[in-house]
Amino acid sequence: MSRKVTAPGLRQMMEAGEKIVCITAYDYTSALLCDSAGVDVVLVGDSLGNVVQGHSTTVPVTLEEMVYHTRCVRRGLSSPLLVGDLPFGSYNVSVSQAVESAIALMKAGADAVKLEGDYTEEIRAIVKAGIPVMGHVGFTPQSINEFGGHKVQGRGDAGEGVLDEAISIQEAGVFGIVLEMIPADVAAVITKKIEIPTIGIGAGAACDGQIQVWHDVFGLSARKLKHARWFAQGQDVFGAALSEYISSTRSGEFPTSENSF
C-alpha cells in the first residue's frame, strides 16, 4: 500500500523536487482509480457544477452537494490527500460561516479544504481550527461574473497583484496554492518567491505540481481546453461501447447464455 499523502508531506515533495500530481474526482469509482494509480491529491472540486451537474458556472453549487460528493470520494480513497472545495457562498459571509463550512467538509471525510481568493481572516480561522487550507488565485471560477468570462488573469502589471495575493494567503497559513490560468512566467515567479507548493492549471510547467479536471483529461468534456490534454478519447471510447451495447441488445445477440443464470 502507498504512503498516506498529507498536507505537510506536499511541502516535502516540493523540497525534494518531486512534482505533485493532482486531479479532481467526484465519485467512489473514480476515487478507487486515483488511489490505485498513485495520484497525490484528489480534489472534490466545485467544478462538479459544470461537469456533473451541467451548470455553466460553479456558482450554483451548494455546501450540501459538496458534502455528498466528498463522502462518495472518501469511500474510495486511502492514500491520496483528499481536498474538499468550499463552494461559493459557504465562506464569503463571515469568518464563523467559513469555519463551520470547513468543518462540514472535514466531517464528510476531507483531509483539507480549498477556497478561492484573498480570504485571509477566514483562512487563519480555519487553520486555527486544525484544518489544512489550500488557496486558489489567478482565475478563480467562483468570480466568473466579476471577470466577465474565462479570462487569463495576471497579464502585464496585474501579475504583481496575483503575486501579492499569493504572499498574503501564504502568510495567512495555506499549505499550497492553486494558480489557475495565469501566464507561465508569472507562475514561475510566484513559485520561486513563495515557500509553499504551487499547483498549476493553465499556469505553465514551473509550478510544483499540476491539477486537472477529470473530464478535461479523459476526453469527456464538450471541448478540448488549451490548458488540458486528452490522455484518453473518452467520448469516442464510451460512445462506441454504448452503440455496441445498443446494437447487440436490439439484435438479440446480448445477453448470451454466458450472461444468463
Residues taking part in catalysis: 180
Which residue from 30, 47, 70, 101 is in contact with ligand KIV, where contact means CB under 6 A? 47
Which of these segments, 41-49, 68-76, 104-112, 252-260, binds ligand KIV (CB under 6 A)?
Answer: 41-49
Nearer to ligand KIV, 178 or 182 (CB): 178
**In whole angstroms, how close is the CB of 49 to ligand KIV at the nearest point?**
8
Site string for ligand KIV, 70-99 (x = CB under 6 A): ---------------x--------------
**In whole angstroms, how close is the CB of 248 to ligand KIV at the nearest point?**
36
Please, what is the angle between helix 95-107 and helix 120-128, to 10°?
50
CB 17 within 8 A of CB 39: no
Which residue from 45, 197, 209, 219 is in contact with ligand KIV, where contact means CB under 6 A? 45
User: How many residues bind to ligand KIV according to rule CB under 6 A?
Assistant: 10
Give the integer Cα–Cα distance in Å for 249 and 132: 50
Contact between 196 and ligand KIV per CB under 6 A: no
Contact between 166 and ligand KIV per CB under 6 A: no
**In whole angstroms, how close is the CB of 176 to ligand KIV at the nearest point?**
11
Indicate the residue whose CB is closest to ligand KIV.
Answer: 45
Classify burial at 136, counting beta carbons within 10 Å of its beta carbon; exposed 0-12, middle 13-18, buried 19 or more: buried
Among residues 216, 203, 177, 210, which one has the least CA distance to residue 48?
A: 216
Contact between 46 and ligand KIV per CB under 6 A: yes
Classify burial at 71, counting beta carbons within 10 Å of its beta carbon; exposed 0-12, middle 13-18, buried 19 or more: middle
Among residues 154, 216, 140, which one has the least CA distance to residue 182?
A: 154
CB 174 within 8 A of CB 143: no
Give the integer Cα–Cα distance in Å for 113 and 103: 9
Contact between 40 and ligand KIV per CB under 6 A: no
Which of these segments, 44-52, 71-79, 123-131, 164-172, binds ligand KIV (CB under 6 A)?
Answer: 44-52
Q: How would you classify residue 157: left for phi > 0, otherwise alpha for psi between -120 and 50, otherwise beta?
A: alpha
Contact between 200 and ligand KIV per CB under 6 A: no
Residue reference for cell 511541502: 11
**In whole angstroms, how close is the CB of 46 to ligand KIV at the nearest point?**
5
Contact between 112 and ligand KIV per CB under 6 A: no
Which residues sit opposite 113 in a β-bridge? 84, 133
Contact between 211 and ligand KIV per CB under 6 A: yes
Nearer to ligand KIV, 89 or 254 (CB): 89
**In whole angstroms, how close is the CB of 47 to ligand KIV at the nearest point?**
3
Give the integer Cα–Cα distance in Å for 26 and 7: 20
Please, what is the angle between helix 63-74 and helix 28-37, to 10°?
50
Binding residues for ligand KIV (CB under 6 A): 24, 43, 45-47, 85, 178, 201, 211, 213
